[in-house]
Amino acid sequence: MVKKLPSVDVVLVGFGWTAAMVAEELTAEGLNVVALERGAWRDTPTDFAVTFAQDELRYMWRRSLFQEPARQTLTFRNSMDQTALPMRHLGSFLPATGVGGAGIHWNGQTWRFLPTDFVARSHNEARYGTLPEHMTIQDWGVTYDELEPFYDKFEYLCGISGRAGNIKGTIQDGGNPFEGARARDYPNPPLRMVYGPTLFAAAARETGHKPFPCPAANMSRTYTNPLGVTLAPCTYCGFCEKFGCGNYSKSSPQTTILPVLMRRDNFELRTQCEVLRVNRDSSGKRATSVTYIDTEGREFEQPAEMIFLCAFAQHNVHLLLLSGIGKPYDPKSGEGVIGRNYAYQVVSSVDVFFDDKIINPFVGAGALGVGIDEYNGDNFDHGGLGFIGGGYLACWNTHGRPIELHPVPKGTPKWGGKWKEAVAKSYLRTATISTHGAVMSYRTNYLDLDPTYRDVHGRPLLRLTFDFGENEHRLSDYLTDRAAEIAKAMKPREIHAKKREGHYSVVPYQTTHNTGGAAMGSDPRTSFVNRYLQSWDVSNLFVMGSTVFPQNAGYNPTGTIGALTYAATDAIKSKYLKNPGPMVQA
Q: Which residues are catalytic?
A: 513
The continuous run of DSSP H or E covering 37 comes out as strand 33-37
Q: Which residues pair with 409 in a beta bridge?
A: none
Distance CA 55, CA 124 (A): 46
Q: Are 196 and 370 a contacting pair, CB within 8 Å? A: no
Residues 6+ apart with CB under 8 A from 566: 21, 25, 150, 153, 154
The 3-state secondary structure of 235-299 reads: CCECCCCCCCCCCCCECCHHHHCHHHHCCCCCEEEEECCEEEEEEECCCCCCEEEEEEECCCCCE
DSSP string for 121-148: HHHHHHHH-PPPTTB-----SS-HHHHH
How far lies 283's CA from each of 272, 301, 317, in Å?
A: 31, 19, 22
Cβ-proximal residues to 62 (8 Å cutoff; 6+ apart), any chain: none
Classify burial at 296, counting beta carbons within 10 Å of its beta carbon; exposed 0-12, middle 13-18, buried 19 or more.
Answer: exposed
CB–CB of 461/75 below 8 Å?
yes
Per-residue CA distances from 153 to 259, 301, 537, 567, 570 (Å) = 18, 35, 29, 10, 11
Please state the φ and ψ torsions of residue 59, each to the nearest 5 degrees: -90, -40
E strands present in 373-508? 391-396, 430-437, 446-454, 460-465, 494-498
C-beta atoms surrounding 375 within 10 Å:
22
* 368, 396 Cβ separation under 8 angstroms: yes
CA–CA distance, 222 with 248 (Å, rounded to integer): 10
Q: How do strand 460-465 and strand 446-454 relate by DSSP bridges? A: antiparallel
